[in-house]
Amino acid sequence: MGRAAVGFMVERKNILVLPAEGTIATEVTACLRYEKSVRLILLDNDTANLDAVILLPGAPSHEGTNHIPVIDWSTGADAQADTGDTYACYTSRDGKLIYCATLAFKGGEVSLQPATAKVRAAATGLSHKPGCWTLTPEPEGGYRRLEGLDAQSLRLHRLFGANLILLSLFEAFGQPVALLPAPANTLQLARGGEIVVPQGPVFLDLDDTLLVHGAPHDGFGAFMQRADAAGVAIHLITRHFREPEITLREHGIDPGCFARIHWLTDGTPKSDMVRAHGGTAFIDDSFKERREVAMALAIPTFAADMLAALRF
C-alpha cells in the first residue's frame, strides 16, 4: 500500500472538480484533499487562478481551459463497476502501461490481481493516451478503453496504494510518477469496506500527515479513538524542525496520546525505528519514506488520504 510515487509541486495548484457532487466526485476529492500541493475548488465560482480542471461524468463543457491541463472523464467509466472482468489501468505520459490490475472478492477479503499477459497485451495496445482508464471486455470479444474509473474501483485500488487520479494530476504538471510493488496483495476489509490493519504498533508521521494544510488531519481524532478502543499503540515518528511536542500542543494535541514520540534529527531511516518497536503499519505523506519502510520491512504503508479508512 502507499505505492503511488509523485514529485511534489513547489506551489499549491488550484484544481477545479466538476461536477462537485456525486459518488465519483466524492472519491476524487478524497484522493486529493490531503495532498499538500493541491487546493481543491469544488464550486465553479473561483476560476480566475485555475491550474487544472478535472471533468467527471455529467460535467458541463468548460470553456476557457485551453491554457491549463484538463483531465477529462466526462464520457468515462462512471457506471462501470469492477466485476473481475474489468481492469484499472494507468498509462504514463511516455506511453508505458505502468498499472493494470483487477480485484477479486472472497468473504471479507479483497485481493489485487495483476493482469495476465494476454490482458496486458490488450491494454498496451490501447495505451495511446496517458492517464488512468478502465479496460473492459467487449461482448463480441476483445477489449475497449473507457476514460477514468468508476468510484468503487478508484477507491478500492487506492486501498492498495494506487492513487490513480493523483498520478494523472501530477503527470499533467510534468512530475515523474511510479508505483511500488504492494507488500501484500490481499487486504482484510471491515464491514464498511475499510482496511483492517495488522495487529501491532502503528507509526504515524507528523508533517503533512497528522498536520495537513496547517491544521490537524480531520480524521485524526476518530483514528486515535479506534486505535485506543482496540488497544493499538500509535507511535509518532517525525523529522520535524523542532521538538514535536511544542507543535502538537500548539495545535491542541496532547503528546501523551502517543505510545512514544520518535524525533529523528540525524538522518536515521524511519524503518530502523519501526523495526525496533515491532511496527506493523506505517503512515506518511512522503513517497520516499514509504518506499524506504516498505522495501526494508515489507509492511503496509499508507499515505495521509488513507487515515479515515484504517480499522483495527
What tens digit of pLDDT does each residue of 237-257 get? 999 999 999 999 999 999 999
Q: Is 305 helix (H, G, I), strand (E, B) or coil?
A: helix
* Whether this model's pTM surpasses 0.85: no
Q: What is the pLDDT of residues 101-122, one digit of tens each?
A: 888 888 778 888 888 999 999 9
**Domains in the chain with CATH codes:** 1-182 (no CATH), 190-311 (3.40.50.1000)
The pairs formed by 102-107 with CB atoms below 8 angstroms and a separation of 24 or more are: 103/153, 103/156, 103/157
* Closest CA relative to residue 55, chosen from 75, 33, 73: 73
Average pLDDT for 151-179: 83
pLDDT at 1: 41
Task: Determine the residue type at 50.
Answer: L
CA dist 38 and 118 (Å) reads 37
What local confidence, expressed as pLDDT, does residue 61 receive? 65
- Cis peptide bond N-terminal to 244, omega within 30: no
Name the DSSP letter for residue 117.
H
Contact 238, 206 (CB under 8 A): yes
pLDDT band at 79 (very low <50, low <70, confident <90, very high): very low
